[in-house]
């Protein structure tokens, strides 16, 4: 383990903090020195969404990630813990997401033998925002991964939320939204409502359709072939959880790079939707926008498009990979060593 927290045996043992980033697919824990935030350990476990993961599993995943990040001999020195949880998105602390996260985190800490200490619970978006350089307290946060949501942050707390309404009702411009558009574009090409696109072949291949029902690139099928494609595609998509459509988003990015007009239009509209989402927070010129999620990363398919659209509003994007650094910073604030 890098920088073993026991290295200073003999000297008075310095206090430690733990930051948790509990997302929809993974829970990550980071152990750090309270005094300077130096990272001393890391651990990961299963999903940590405080609204959708049942409490026993949520507690188990937190305990597992914590136990991996914090060596047994160091647990007595943990002076504060902060967690950013997906599903704990509202401003009120008595909401189900917050209550579940707090209950599960206290239980998990007790289970692995961390003594009572300050525990701060917030949303994964607050943690991501706090991960930006300088640990900012105020500005806008934008998440564009499988889902999409923007929030206004004031005093390190979300004070307003736009979208984040989930795959059925919103998350406009998200990975799910893009993936769903890809399948729609394929079906619309197949039944004649939409123009030709290489997405039909790419979507069909990714969903495991037999070669005999795939179109030949963007050039299309016979009438019978079109019908066969549709009749094979629909049951495959409907048999899996809708959110799995998000895995098709990279196909759109790939097709757009090959200058497929339909794919480009999908990405353009996704960037428009995310811009609308940010704009609804009534940003002021020069405000910080901290982005996270794969669509907006250094190689993200929407990074350039969104940057172009936010520039006229006087806004620039900072991207962070996750909320771990911010959760550590918030834990350091919680034990009084953060600022």
Give the count of residues interacting with a copy of itself (CB under 8 A).
32
Residue with tokens 């409490």: 55
Please tell me the distance from the alpha carbon of residue 79 to that of residue 104, in angstroms, as a whole number.
18
The answer to whether 187 contacts a copy of itself (rule: CB under 8 A) is yes
Tokens representing 336 are 């009084």
State which of residues 230, 264, 268, 321 lies at the interface with a copy of itself (CB under 8 A): 230
The answer to whether 125 contacts a copy of itself (rule: CB under 8 A) is no
Q: How many CA atoms lie within 13 A of 2 on its CB side?
A: 10
- Site stretch for a copy of itself (CB under 8 A), options 10-18, 132-140, 184-192, 293-301: 184-192
Please tell me the distance from the alpha carbon of residue 231 to that of residue 213, in angstroms, as a whole number.
10
- Site stretch for a copy of itself (CB under 8 A), options 41-49, 137-145, 278-286, 311-319: 278-286
Q: How do strand 78-85 and strand 27-33 relate by DSSP bridges?
A: unpaired
State which of residues 156, 180, 309, 332 lies at the interface with a copy of itself (CB under 8 A): 180
Q: 251 with 182: CB under 8 angstroms? A: yes
Nearest CA to 108 out of 73, 78, 88 is that of 78
Closer to a copy of itself at the Cβ: 9 or 92?
A: 92
The answer to whether 98 contacts a copy of itself (rule: CB under 8 A) is no
CB of 144 to a copy of itself, least distance (A): 15
State which of residues 76, 192, 314, 336 lies at the interface with a copy of itself (CB under 8 A): 192
The answer to whether 169 contacts a copy of itself (rule: CB under 8 A) is yes
The answer to whether 284 contacts a copy of itself (rule: CB under 8 A) is no
Total Cβ atoms within 10 A of residue 199? 28
- Site stretch for a copy of itself (CB under 8 A), options 69-77, 190-198, 208-216, 327-335: 190-198
The answer to whether 337 contacts a copy of itself (rule: CB under 8 A) is no
Name the strand (E) or helix (H) holding 217: none
The answer to whether 244 contacts a copy of itself (rule: CB under 8 A) is no
Please tell me the distance from the alpha carbon of residue 56 to that of residue 46, in angstroms, as a whole number.
12
State which of residues 106, 184, 247, 264 lies at the interface with a copy of itself (CB under 8 A): 184
CB of 30 to a copy of itself, least distance (A): 29
The answer to whether 247 contacts a copy of itself (rule: CB under 8 A) is no
Q: 271 with 303: CB under 8 angstroms? A: no
Total Cβ atoms within 10 A of residue 280? 14
Q: Which class for 264: exposed (0-12), middle (13-18), buried (19 or more C-beta within 10 A)?
A: middle
The answer to whether 225 contacts a copy of itself (rule: CB under 8 A) is no
Please tell me the distance from the alpha carbon of residue 255 to that of residue 238, in angstroms, as a whole number.
24
Q: Which positions touch a copy of itself (CB under 8 A)?
A: 90-91, 95, 160-163, 165-166, 168-170, 180, 183-184, 187, 191-193, 223, 227, 230-231, 234, 237-238, 242, 276-277, 280-282
């Amino acid at each position: 383990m890098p920088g073993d927290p026991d290295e200073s045996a003999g000297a008075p043992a310095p206090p430690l903090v733990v930051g948790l980033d509990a997302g929809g697919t993974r829970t990550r824990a980071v152990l750090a020195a309270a005094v300077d935030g130096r990272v001393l350990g890391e651990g990961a476990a299963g999903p940590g969404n405080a609204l959708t993961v049942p409490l026993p599993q949520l507690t188990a995943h937190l305990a597992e990630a914590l136990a991996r990040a914090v060596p047994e001999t160091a647990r007595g020195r943990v002076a504060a813990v902060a967690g950013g949880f997906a599903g704990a998105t509202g401003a009120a602390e008595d909401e189900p997401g917050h209550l579940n996260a707090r209950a599960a985190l206290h239980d998990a800490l007790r289970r692995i033998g961390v003594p009572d200490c300050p525990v701060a619970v917030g949303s994964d978006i607050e943690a991501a925002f706090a991960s930006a350089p300088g640990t900012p307290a105020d500005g806008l946060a934008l998440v564009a991964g499988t889902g999409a949501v923007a929030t206004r942050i004031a005093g390190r707390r979300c004070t307003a939320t736009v979208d984040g309404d989930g795959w059925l009702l919103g998350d406009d411009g998200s990975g799910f939204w893009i993936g769903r558009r890809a399948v729609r574009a394929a079906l619309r090409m197949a039944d004649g409502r939409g123009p030709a696109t290489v997405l039909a072949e790419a979507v069909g291949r990714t969903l495991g359709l037999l070669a005999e029902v795939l179109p030949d690139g963007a050039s299309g099928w016979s009438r019978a072939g079109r019908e066969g494609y549709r009749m094979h595609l629909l049951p495959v998509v409907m048999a899996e959880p809708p959110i799995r459509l998000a895995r098709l988003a990279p196909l759109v990015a790939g097709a757009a790079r090959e200058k497929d007009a339909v794919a480009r239009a999908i990405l353009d509209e996704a960037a428009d939707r995310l811009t609308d989402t940010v704009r609804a927070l009534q940003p002021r010129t020069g405000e910080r926008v901290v982005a996270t999620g794969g669509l907006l990363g250094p190689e993200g398919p929407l990074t350039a498009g969104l940057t172009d659209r936010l520039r006229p509003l006087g806004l620039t994007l900072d991207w962070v990979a996750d909320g771990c650094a911010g959760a550590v910073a918030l834990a350091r604030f919680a034990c009084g060593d953060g600022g």
